[in-house]
Amino acid sequence: MMEFVESQKGKPILLKDGYRYRKVRINVDGSASWLCLVTFCGGRLRLQGETVLIVSEHNHAPDVSKNEALRSVVEMRRRAELGMEKPRQIIQECTNGISLEAAVHLPAYVASQRAIERRRRRARHPYVDPRSVGICTSPCLPIASPVEAMGELPVVLIQGIGDPDGIAEEHVPFLKKNFSLVTMKELTENRQHFREKIRAVYVWETKPVIDRELLQNLPNLKVIASAGAGVDHLALDLISSFGVKVTNTPLEVSNATADLAMTLLLASARNLQEAIQIAVSSDTQQFFSNWMADEVTGATLGIIGMGRVGLKVAQRAKAFEMKILYHNRNQRKEEDERAVGATYCAKMEDLLQQSDFVMLVVNLTPETCKLIGERELQLMKPTATLINISRGGVVDQDALVEALQNGVIKAAALDVTYPEPLPRAHPLLRMKNVIVTPHIGTATHNTCRLMMQNMTKSILAVLNGHRIPNEVTSN
């Protein structure tokens, strides 16, 4: 049990563990946890050898109960595990009548980064369990978290809250625990107040739009966290020129996107959209006894782009006993191919000619823009279906419309188009053999929650100078 041993006023107080003085580490980089848990009002912390000295300069602080102090310790541990912003000063938040403003003027410990980093590397344990720590019974104060002590959380720019372009309202409580949120409307209305405070941009559904003007008006911007795997909506070279980091969430989207891919494949094969219209139409008097559609069992699926999502699609297709072909920049490992029963096609043309269903699962880059055009569509079977879950720009839509109208291919199922949404009079929206969904590949409660949590971790990592999960570079 660790205890606090107090000497006379003005003399050092040592943290004593049994009969040995115990080295106590103070967190200033967000990755370590707070081991200096409780001190005295106005006390100054000072490192000396293996010990932390607490020099008591004031004895007028009100008592704080053990339970209150312990709650503060638990909260500090939670914030430390989240990796909150580096404290430049440790300021005790006073209770029972002493205001925060008064506490700001009390002495505070400012450690050299080098000294603390040296002690951090030598530390054996990441944190002390608060339940094992004795709370000082002398007049003391709970230590506020560093960001609370400085008066505000990191300021993050968002498009808005709620439809049509904002973040989901159910995500707001979690985000507000870690950030102070500023909407684009608030920034526009009070630019001078917010421009130097904003440290990160939270991009959801490609909003807010990141352009040169916005970057120039946010001089302290450090990171842009974007939901989803695709980053074609971000000018990476431009952003990098401002010294701003970019992160995305590729690992969180794979399952939901692959689920939708199979949904579109099955719905198109069974002509589900037209079937639903017949079932609900006020003109329907009886169902057709000769209604026919296609089976997927035994059919050939050609996957163009065998990354994380493509492999997940293949796993699902295998369960439907489909034959799987794939084309990728690089052939996958033999064990991956064997696990899903996939065969590599070095030439995309070979895949197009053999497949009953062609699935597009590639990122939109200059190389993949209009990857599927008139020539590629002509290579496909007249009974084939094109399914696009990547980006609308991967397909030449004019060529696709013509191919569908002329029977070059049988059908198409598209979760992505260009633009989004399509003009209401667009031919693709009027065809019975086309299914269009509103870019909902990642739109599940669980996936969106995971993306939000990942984006939060990424922002905090950048602001605390840690290794950045899923950093995206211009390369």
Question: Which residues are identified as catalytic?
Answer: 391, 420, 439
Q: Which residues of 403-439 are buried (b: 16+ CB within 10 A; e: fewer)?
A: bbeeebbbbbbbbbbeeeebeeeebbeebebbbbbeb
- What does the block give as tokens for 379? 């290579």
Helix (H, G, I), strand (E, B) or coil at 225: strand
Q: Which residue in 92, 70, 102 sits closest to 143, CA to CA?
A: 92
* Joined tokens for residue 397: 């839509």
Contacts of 14 (CB under 8 A, 6+ apart): 5, 21, 51, 53, 54
Distance CA 290, CA 141 (A): 80
What's at 452, amino acid-wise? M
- CA angle, 12 then 14 then 15, to 5°: 155
Residues 6+ apart with CB under 8 A from 65: none
Return the residue matching tokens 């013509």.
402
SS3 110: coil
Give the span between the Cα atoms of 110 and 133, in whole angstroms. Answer: 24
Comparing CA positions, the residue from 256, 250, 229, 361 lying closest to residue 306 is 361
Rounded CA-CA distance 8/117 in Å is: 32
* Helix spans in 4-89 (H): 66-82
Nearby residues of 220 by Cβ (< 8 Å), 6 or more positions away? 196, 197, 198, 199
Give the closest residue to 1 by CA, choosing from 120, 119, 130, 122.
Answer: 130
